[in-house]
Amino acid sequence: MRVTSSSFPSLLNYQLGQLATKQARLQVQAGTGQRFQVGSEDPRAMRKVLDLQSEMKTLLQYEKNIGNLTDTVEASFAAVKALKTVTDRAGEIATRSDGLRTVEEAKTFAIEVDQLIERALQLANTRHQSSYLFGGTGNTTPPFTATRDADGRITAIAYDGSEDVNEMEIAEGITVKVSIPGANRSGSGDRGLFTDRRSGVNADLFKSLIDFRGNLQKNNKAAIRTTDLPNILKDEENILFHFGNIGAVQSRLETGAAMANRRKASLEGLASKESDADLAQTLVSLSEIQNAYTAALKTGGTILSQSLLDFL
């Protein structure tokens, strides 16, 4: 076979180009720690890494959802805890009412109950991150509005919020409700905090306090003992139910956060295994390529510098 004089330089140039390309790629791997920069270098690994990254983005959204829900739950817990102090004090006053000797003493307690009603209304319209906690899905406006008499005392309180609450996904196919509707008058659905018309519950905190105040003003001990105190205790039991429910939701959120964090760490490890370069092996390969490149240059230079006189 006849070999032209230009064949060797062309072949040498091609081989040097190949070695230079491999050398550049290994240098990038050593510098970035990544085994590939574009999908064409390893399509299978790139596809797997993209799938893992997509799953990690979903987990990050779940973690964000859990964080937002946790903030709401903590705000709800603080409000319900404060509301519990209202019913505790109302129950104390109702229990002590049998020992009241004069109408004036009863009226003094009625003034305190009036302040308890105001405090309960304030808690009912608690706002958190621009939303009203106890308005259900209608959380952009105050859920409770008061009707007052000529002296400014509250005579009735109406619920203008929704009985439905939003759900948020914290894991695949798993949703959580953290909002509490201020009232539920339908007898089904989520239990209301201030008013609940379920069978066996029938709680109505505002009505109980307003009626209790009226009986104190009249020093009607019999009505306080037989009606007001049982109603206040029923309202308190309803609040305790929500205490327990908030605790259960907090536990679910903590579990969801821990599972998402563990899963994310696992995915990061899998993605790293697919995309990260083995630094030790990369440096060895880089050294080998550099030596081959240097040898090719030296050998090629020697051959190209030979003349006809070298063979005579």
For the segment(s) 52-268, the CATH number from 3.40.50.2000, 3.40.50.10490, 1.20.1330.10, 1.10.3720.10 is 1.20.1330.10
Q: 312: pLDDT confidence band, cut at 50, 70 and 90?
A: very low
User: For residue 103, what pLDDT band results from cuts at 50, 70 and 90?
Assistant: confident
Residue pair 143/159 in contact (Cβ under 8 Å)? The answer is yes
The Cα 107–Cα 104 span in angstroms is 5
**Each residue's pLDDT tens digit, 121-148:** 999 999 998 899 999 988 889 999 999 9
Compute φ and ψ for 127, nearest 5 degrees: -115, 140
**In the chain, which ranges are E strands?**
127-128, 131-132, 144-148, 154-159, 168-171, 174-176, 183-184, 195-196, 203-204
Over the stretch 83-101, which tens digit does the pLDDT of each residue have? 999 999 999 999 988 877 7
Of 11-15, 294-298, 304-308, give the lowest mean pLDDT range.
304-308
Contact 115, 93 (CB under 8 A): no
- The pLDDT score that the predictor gives to residue 186 is 83
Contact between 246 and 80 under an 8 Å Cβ cutoff? The reply is yes
Determine the angle formed by the axes of helices 103-124 and 43-96, rounding to 10 degrees.
170
| Percentage of the chain exceeding pLDDT 70 | 71
pLDDT score, position 260: 86
pTM tops 0.85: no
- Choose among 212, 146, 158: nearest CA to 183: 158
Note the pLDDT tens digit of each residue in 146-193.
999 999 999 999 999 999 888 888 888 888 888 899 999 887 888 999
- Token output for 234: 């029923």
Residue listed under structure tokens 């104390």: 92
Burial class (CB in 10 A: 0-12, 13-18, 19+), 150: exposed
The residues pairing with 144 across neighbouring beta strands, listed in sequence order, are: 159
Answer whether residue 279 shows pLDDT above 60. Answer: no
List the chain domain ranges: 52-268
